[in-house]
Structure formats: C-alpha cells, structure tokens
Chains A and B, each alone.
Chain A
Amino acid sequence: MQNPNCPAQGNVASQPQVSGDYIIEVKNVFKQFEDGKFALNDVSLSVKKGEFVTILGPSGCGKTTLLRCIAGFQVASSGDILLKGEDVTQTPPYKRPVNTVFQKYALFPHLNVFENVAFGLKMKKVEKTTIAKKVKAALKMANLTGYEDRKVDTLSGGQQQRVAIARAIVNEPEVLLLDEPLSALDLKMRHDMQIELKELHDKLGITFIYVTHDQEEALTLSDRVVVMSEGEIQQIGTPTDIYNEPINCFVADFIGESNILSGTMICDRKVRFCGHEFDCVDEGFGEMMPVDVVIRPEDIYILDNPEKGQLQGEVQSCIFKGVHYEMRVLTPDHFEFLIQDYHEFLPGRKIGMLVKPEDIQIMKKERLFNTFEGEIVKNNKVNFLEADWDLDPEVAAQFEPGDKVRVEVEFADVDLQDYEEEGTLTGEVHFILYKGDHYHLTIRTDEGYDIHVNTQDVWDDGDRVGVVILPKDIRVSKL
C-alpha cells in the first residue's frame, strides 16, 4: 500500500514554490495517536485561494484527522501547517481564520437560529447593528430567512445543516472546512444541498475544504480531489484525472466501478492481458514489464458479432440500472468483466468486446511478490513477520542459524485457512481487489504486517484467517 513516490510530494514539486499562491499549505504532517497508530503519515497538500478541494477516502483513512489538524482541534505530531504563509501548527482554533461545518452540525441547543449564527460575530465583539445585518445576509444566503427565532431542535436535518453553514460563512472566513456535512441527510436532500454548496462556493469565492467518503460527491463538487488511504495521500488531481488516470489499484477501485486486471507491458503502446494484445497510449514502462490494467465498465464496447471483438465472452447477468444496463461477461479464459451499455444483452448471449487504446489505463505494479526480512533459526526454520516458518531442509542446510535473509513468497503461494489455529500466523482480510479471474487480498497480521495474497476463494473484509506457506514456496537468499 505504501507508495514510495508519494504523489502528494510529486504534486507539490511540480507546482511553483511561491507561498503567496497558496492559502493552505500542509507540509510533511504526521499525526500519531496514543496507541501508536499513525492517522496521518507524511501528508503534504497545498490549496490555492478560492479552490474547492475534497479530501476523499474510506472511513479511518485519516481524512477527518487532516481536516481537524487544519481547523486546530488536533495538533500534528510533526510537520507544519501554514495558513496564508503563516505557521499555525500550534495555534488554537479560535485564533485561526477558518470556520468549520461539523458532521452533526453541532448547533448550540440553548440558542435560537439567529443567536447561533451571530455567535462568531459576538465573540469578535462586532457592533450589534452590524451583527444583525450580517446575520440577515447569511441567513438569506442559506435560504433561511424567517427562521431567526426558531429553536434549532425544531428544524429539519436540512435546515439545521443550512444554519450550520450560515453560522460558519457569516464570519467571512478565509477557508471553510466541511466535515462530511451531508452524510446525515437523505439522498434527495443530499443532491439538492450539493448543488447549493457548489453555488455558495461560486458566490462567496472563498476556499472550501470538504471531507467525504462519497466518491460521487467528491467528483461532482470539487476542483481538485485528494484521495487518502491509511493516513497517506494516494493521489491529488482534478475529478477527471482521478477517474481516468488512477495512479494505483486503490484509487481505481475506490473511485467508480472498474475492471482491474494483471497484464504485461510488451513495449511502448502495447499491452497484453487476458491472452490478447491491445494497443494503448502509455509509454515508458519498459519492455515485458508486469503492470495493472484498469478499464472502466463504460469503456468496453459490446459487439453483436463475437469474431469482431478483441475479446469474446458470454453474458452471465444483466441488470437494469436506470440509464444503462450493467452486465457481467465471462471470457473463455475465465476472466470476468463488468460492462455498462445502453443496450440490453441477455444472459447466455455470446458477444465481442472492444476497448479503445485511450481507454486503457496502465499502472505500474506496486509489487510482484511478497518480500520480507528474516533470520534463519534452529530446526530448519526461518523467522519473519514475528513467526517461525518451516524451511525445506535442503535449503536450510545452506544457511547458519542467525543468518539474516531476504524472504520472497509469490502471492499465489500464500494459503489462507478458515481456522485461525491452523495458520502459522493469524490476521484479518484488510483490502480486497477483484482482478478479473482472481482476488488480490491484503492480509493485515495481528502484529501489523501486510501479506499480499492471490486467491480464487471469496473472502470478506474483516474475515479472520490463518496464514500458511509451504516450505517449498519460501524463497530465501542471503542479505
């Protein structure tokens, strides 16, 4: 999961280093919690004035922590946060020129709508008549005129949300931070509020930093999207960049639906997967390099005549999704594709599939097999991942106990057991990626290490497993 070329830094480096351009600069921020876990792991991010930036990621990825560090509710363990070029890393929230819209609104229940919105201005000791004027304007902006005297707990969720927004924007902050502000609303209301937020952003012209786990929301609203996972920034880019050119499997899988397959880059502009050679537009991966290939379901064209397609397949299932049909198609080599098309192709039908070169997204494989550092121990065993594993006696004879070794294990050679006690070590399924004909799993061991596994078996996120590796499948070499 760790990407050595942290895209965040790459992005920063590619932009001119003039502090004046950026309203927010997050520089190499780490946040470690008391239990030792890193919520933020070397996060760097620069936001221009007036931008709408969305921080997107699954729950527990560190996106809210990042927002809270910018707001000042949490202090970064190391690294710097700059607002308008000024270091605010240690500044308490009440002295920062930012305002926050909280996930559960956090409206003051003892105050009415007017008093809630006026709270920030009162703290700044603004003159009474000015407060009244500004609050009125903010309430009008949030479509809440006439609600001044209402108690906040008599308002609907959407109205409370608007009060929360009005309460923040009335202070005319440099930056508005929004922490999953729409997650408590129902779908219809959420769509309406998305449009209102976008309009508000255009009207106010201030910087919005928006945290969400909803990828559709992120793509709809933002100028730029920051995709996070496991406390690290995976990719920063415009919604189209993120969607069309995901930098790794995590981003491809998290944003929208995708077919992710293992392939080989034969040479520039030629890639082979599913037993067929395809033209593509990517260059610079080298020759015969293993790569991951991403094809969006809407980028596969279905042809009536199977012979005319690059690949052939049989429709397995077909579901009507409103605008389009979504089909699962199986090739004779047992690769499964997800395809979206406006036309219906019924199960059992043989079809051809066509992909245009520019719709094939190639990604460098993050790793080709598991590598661990280990040490030879007594009784023909090797110790790695804090466990002792049996070695082939012939292999073990080449080493002395105490030798430091590099251990390599192919993804497909790791066996997972239902019964934890049968495994040499235990862990749980942490990340699942479907690669057309197999699953690529990340197993997080109880000691906190990752093992990558290819398997045909279906596992669920969070399943407890025992890990077994046969002696013949453990490759060791001296360090």
Chain B
Amino acid sequence: MKKLSDIASSRHTWAWPYILFLVLFVVLPLVLIAFYAFTTADGRFTVQNFLKFFTHSEAISTFVYSVFIAVLNTVICLLLGYPAAYIMANEDYRTPKVMAMLFILPMWINFLLRTVATVELFNMIGFKLGEGALLFGLCYDYLPFMIYPIYNTLQKMDRSLVEAAGDLGANRAKVFTKVILPLSMPGVYSGIVMVFMPTVSTFAIAELLTHNNIKLFGSLIQDYITTSDLLNYGAVLSLILLVIIGITSFFGSTEDDSQKGGLI
C-alpha cells in the first residue's frame, strides 16, 4: 500500500487542484455553451439557433460592425503604438524612463474605472458620446497592449544590426524597412492579437461610451443571455465569436513562431 507521503510527493498529486479548476471553469463552460447552442429551451437537439443567426440581419450586421471597429482600433493602436515603442526603445532619442512609465501606468487601473473616468471627462468638456468616443476609449484602453510587445522586441534587438545595415549602404529609411521592421514583426503580431481579440468581444466600453446607443457583438450576447428565454441563441453567438477569436489567435501564434524558427 502506498504511504501518504508518497502520494503527497508525487507530481501527479499536485496537478489535481489545477485540473479540477480547469475542468470546472474552462472545459465545463465550453461544453455548456456548445450544449445550449445545439438545444432548444426545453433541451431537445436542434440546429435552428445557427440557422437563425444566418438569417438574423441585426446579429450579422452587429457582428460585421464589431469586427470593423476591432480592426479599426487595432490599426489605430498600431499606427500610434509603433512609433511610440520605436522612440522609447531607441537610445538615440533618450526618452526619459518617465515616458515609458506613463504609457504603462494606465494598465495598473481596472479598465472599467478608466472608462467611467473617460465618460466623466468627455461630459465635462462637452464631447458628444458616440462612435468617436468609443474609438477613443478602445484605443486608450488597448494602446499599452500594442506598445509593450513591440517595445520589447525592439529593445532586445541587437544595435549592431542597425549599424551593419548602415555599413552595407542602407540609409535610415532602408535600415528601417529592411532590418528594424522585419525583426520587430513578432512584437507587432502579438500586439495585434492582444488588441484585436479583446476588442471584438468588448461590451462594457461600448455601453459606457455610447450611452448604449451603439451595440457591439459582446453587448448583443449579453442582452440575449440575460434575457433567459434566448439563452440558447446567446450561446450560438458566443460559440461563433469563440471560433473567430480562435482563428485570429491561431494566425497570430503561427506567424509568431515562424519568426522564432517554427519550433511548435
């Protein structure tokens, strides 16, 4: 018979709490979503919910709009974030440490609190809440997630590569396009994934910054699920969103790995 100390020292034993946690809070909810998506309110199997989505123009247009907003936000974050990361990582510009801190600082505070504060700020200066405010809020919330990974790859890059490119006849613009940009792509990819995915499924920011006038896909799901008789339809929408996010993250990670030599 095994002694108690043997059981305690076995590595398998230590894994159990985590396995239990994962099953309860990751696997089970996924199974439930799938179950609800393929059943009616009284528990019979159906694909009706899916068919409903493809004929439900409001859901589809909200979905397309959400993806559009997410893409737009990702592009804005990339356009603003790359130069910021580049300047912070480049020793020549002597950016004070304070500046790097200021970019990261908002991440310390819960994004809901920040969004509420933004709403108050807009009200104070008399800026109309709506699409513009929504984009600003999204960008404000997710910009650090774009800057940080790009800053990281740029900072780890060997400075002598830049010198080598210059030595071989590349002017500043060529050094950037031929060396710095390609080498910072892993950071760009993770930045894109880290901004795009949460933006697609966001709903609180949209609610707060548009006075609930603009619905994103996340808000739609929330509406259906809190209205209990349409729980099954809400599950379908969640499942579709999940698949879309899964595809983007797969796109992100494969690109990422190919830069590191494609180990996985």
Contacts and interface: CB of A to CB of B under 8 A. Distances in A.
Interface stretch (B52-60, B123-131, B167-175): B167-175
B158 interface: yes
A125 B209 CA distance: 52
A72 B167 CA distance: 8
Given A102-B164, A151-B261, A109 B183 contact: yes
Given A151-B261, A153-B261, A108 B164 contact: yes
A62 B217 CA distance: 63
A33 interface: no
A73 B163 contact: yes
Interface string B140-173: 0000000000000000001011011111111100
Given A94-B171, A119-B168, A171-B169, A106 B261 contact: no
Interface size band for B: 10 to 19
Interface string A121-143: 00110000000000000000000
B75 interface: no
A99 B170 CA distance: 12
Contact of A110 (B164, B174, B183): B183
A93 B166 contact: yes
B182 interface: yes
A104 B167 contact: no
B115 to A, nearest CB: 39
B245 interface: no
Contacts of A73: 163, 166-167
A106 B166 CA distance: 12
A94 B169 contact: yes
Contacts of B161: 106, 108
Given A94-B171, A153-B261, A104 B160 contact: yes
Contacts of A151: 261
Contact of A119 (B165, B171, B259): B165
Nearest to B158: A106
Interface string A143-183: 00000000101000000000000011001000000000000
Nearest to B182: A110
B182 A123 contact: no
B239 interface: no
A99 B158 contact: no
A100 B169 CA distance: 11
Contacts of B169: 94, 120, 123-124, 171
A100 B166 CA distance: 10
B179 interface: yes
Nearest to A98: B167
Contact of B166 (A92, A104, A167): A92
Contacts of B158: 104, 106
Nearest to B179: A108
B177 to A, nearest CB: 11
The 7 lowest CB-CB distance pairs between A and B, nearest first, are A120-B168, A123-B169, A106-B160, A106-B164, A93-B166, A100-B167, A110-B182
28 contacts: A71-B163, A71-B167, A72-B166, A73-B166, A94-B166, A94-B169, A98-B167, A100-B167, A102-B163, A103-B160, A104-B158, A106-B160, A106-B161, A106-B163, A108-B161, A108-B164, A108-B183, A110-B183, A110-B259, A119-B165, A119-B168, A119-B178, A123-B168, A123-B169, A153-B261, A168-B167, A171-B168, A171-B169
